[in-house]
Structure 1
Amino acid sequence: MPKSALITGITGQDGSYLAELLLEKGYEVHGMVRRSSTEKFDRIEHLRDRITLHQGDLLDHRSLTDALRASKPDEIYNLAAMSFVAVSWIQPTLTAEFTGVGVTRILEAMREVCPEARFYQASSSEMFGKVLEVPQTESTPFYPRSPYGVAKAYGHFITVNYRESYNLHATSGILFNHESPRRGLEFVTRKITWHAAAIRHGQIDELSLGNLDAERDWGYAKDYVDAMWRMLQQDKADDYVIATGETHTVRECVEIAFDEAGIGADKVDQYVKIDPQFLRPAEVDQLIGSPAKAKADLGWEPETSFEELIRLMTRADLGLLKP
């Protein structure tokens, strides 16, 4: 019997890469999707005939139990969330419901329907926020600096609580920023690579950004979903930081993208406009993760360098926008 997995948030960047990985490994893959006027399936269009989709919503307990009963999962990957930090300031309560309380709903549904399944919670480096130590590890205290980070911290701790209180196989992956050509255009790396391609093709002539000195620990989403899978293959559930262990600035990202697009790495100040609307109400400090535990326990380490990542994203956007 092939293993069965249910992925919430399957239409997102991570969900689509994870679905591909699990299909390669012979899983029966189920995805949970919301019924909404804006739901886009383009990231999983090429997989539609190989996966089974169920309608469900993290705000609705009944739909979660129905999706679990129908999919009979051995593994549950909870990747659904309000995923964009900036929007969490505009919709803080909805972010709390989806990204925080929604985790409790799915854990409750799992306890009711399939307590023997293995559960993965997508935690986030945004929980560290105003960092209390560098680099951040699994034991670094959280100090979130956005409604998104606060909601993710709730989701993280409720997962730990259910693991310890109900003996569920529930794991949290504390993933640092991870990008790909499937990243939404609102995220800074993809915004940069898309604009670099558009400038190169003569379609636009400027790129508006916020803080060029902001530093992040950026990895490749395809590498990171492999870490998620590895976590659920462990006999004992635990929490893991997944990161590259190095940071880069937004400016570096622009330089690499401009270089790959053939504009020139030295042309940043010519094309980039600093726009105060893209500055965060509270900037997070040096987010840099230590993947030491993941390497020791899971045998995982990132395979794609930051430069390779930005170059492959830029090439994908050059192809996408080709006139």
Structure 2
Amino acid sequence: MPSALITGITGQDGSYLAELLLEKGYDVHGLVRRASTEKFERIDHLKDRITLHQADLLDERSLRDALRAAKPDEVYNLAAMSFVAVSWIQPTLTAEFTGVSVTRMLEAVRETCPEARFYQASSSEMFGKVLETPQTETTPFYPRSPYGVAKVYGHHITVNYRESYDMFATSGILFNHESPRRGLEFVTRKITWHAAAIKAGKRDELALGNLDAKRDWGFAKDYVEAMWLMLQHDKPDDFVIATGETNTVRKCVEVAFDEAGLDWEKHVRLDPAFLRPAEVDLLVGDPAKAKQELGWEPKTSFEELIRLMVRSDLELLGA
């Protein structure tokens, strides 16, 4: 039975990845931070089938202890301060959690289980002010947020450990990926939840920032399969994981409110407070390399994704 350790197992991607690995017969371990309020709702249905270890990305010793206990064949480093807007409010903490902690994790793996295959969650936010469209594995990085900058550090340090220590260390440059498990602070889930809440009579309006911002949105459940495939590949490498299609925030609103049976223009207002200090205008990835080398491609369309999220939120709110 192969074993895997997932940091960020309580998050959207971590929960879907844990499900996938359990289906494939893995012994699944997860890292969780000790906190006064534990948030395990995304993995409640898995808790009797996985092993959780308390550790902190800011404490390298705790990472080494967890790795020694888990003895993983594969390590998926998904944990990060993952919300771009908050990275402007807490830029130093974002640098520690999302950037420097990758070095701590790599060092801990190198010292305790150097043969383990390592996956680093890189991000399309590294491209930021894009220098070419669509973005590929060779597109230069131009991050436009503290989060994006920290992810660039995490990406490059992973490449450095791969090349310097001959570690099987790979990075997935994932474009936006959503699901019913997405946090309410992220724009897609904010939209689908509000559409459901307005339908249920629990809210009257939805305030948004830039409706013209374009993103390449996919389904998280499809994307975690790409993570697994990267660690089954014959050599460590970096891959863009995306749909290759772009949609606007406005299109997301239109689809979500249509699924809820509402006229979006009667309920959505623009609020400058939600505009970013430096906006990323157009992120769209080219997943050709992942398709060619990993045999991966997305299974779920953007419209299918938004509609299934709205249906989930309607059910959640009893609408």
Q: Which residue is 2:62 aligned to?
A: 63
- Residue 303 of structure 2, aligned match among 303, 307, 310: 307
Instruction: List gaps (5 residues or longer) in structure 2.
Output: none
Give the match for residue 272 of structure 1.
Answer: 268
The aligned counterpart of 2:52 is 53
Distance in 2 between the 1:207 and 1:284 partners? Answer: 22
Query: Which residue of the partner structure matches residue 187 of structure 1?
Result: 186
User: What SS class does the counterpart of residue 14 from structure 1 fall into?
Assistant: helix
For residue 316 of structure 1, the aligned residue among 276, 288, 312 is 312
The one-letter amino acid of 1:109's match is A
SS for the counterpart of 1:316 is helix
CA distance in 1, matches of 2:137, 2:294: 14
What is the distance in 2 between the residues matched to 1:61 and 1:171? Answer: 21
Structure 1 residues 38, 128: closer, same or farther in 2, change over 3 A?
farther
Equivalence for 1:10? 9
> Which 4+ runs in 1 deviate beyond 4 A?
none
- Equivalent pairs counted in the alignment come to 319
- Counterpart for residue 290 of structure 1: 286
Q: Following the alignment from structure 1 to structure 2, what is the Cα–Cα distance between the partners of residues 269 and 318?
A: 20
Task: Please tell me the residue identity of whatever aligns with 1:254.
Answer: V
Structure 1 length normalisation: TM-score?
0.98
Find the counterpart in structure 1 of residue 246 from structure 2: 247
Q: Among all aligned residue pairs of Structure 1 and Structure 2, give the percentage whose two residues are the same amino acid.
A: 82
Q: How far has the Cα of 1:269 moved from its partner?
A: 2.2
Query: 2:20, 2:70 → 1: CA distance?
Result: 18
Amino acid at match of 1:280: R
State the distance in 1 between where 2:16 and 2:227 align: 11
Give SS of 1:50's match.
coil
Q: Alpha-carbon deviation of 1:268?
A: 2.3
Q: RMSD of the alignment, in Å?
A: 0.6
Report how far residue 320 of structure 1 moved: 0.2
Give the CA deviation at 1:37: 2.3
Partner secondary structure for residue 48 of structure 2: helix
Distance (Å, rounded) in 1 between the aligned partners of 2:15 and 2:192 = 20
Mapping 1:1-323, distance limit 5 Å:
2-263=1-262, 267-322=263-318
Equivalent-residue separation in structure 2 for 1:91 and 1:109 (angstroms): 26
* One-letter amino acid of the counterpart of residue 122, structure 1: A
- Offset of residue 202 of structure 1: 1.2
Q: CA deviation at 1:38?
A: 3.8
Structure 2 Cα separation of the partners of residues 11 and 276 of structure 1: 32
* Residue identity opposite 2:276 in structure 1: R
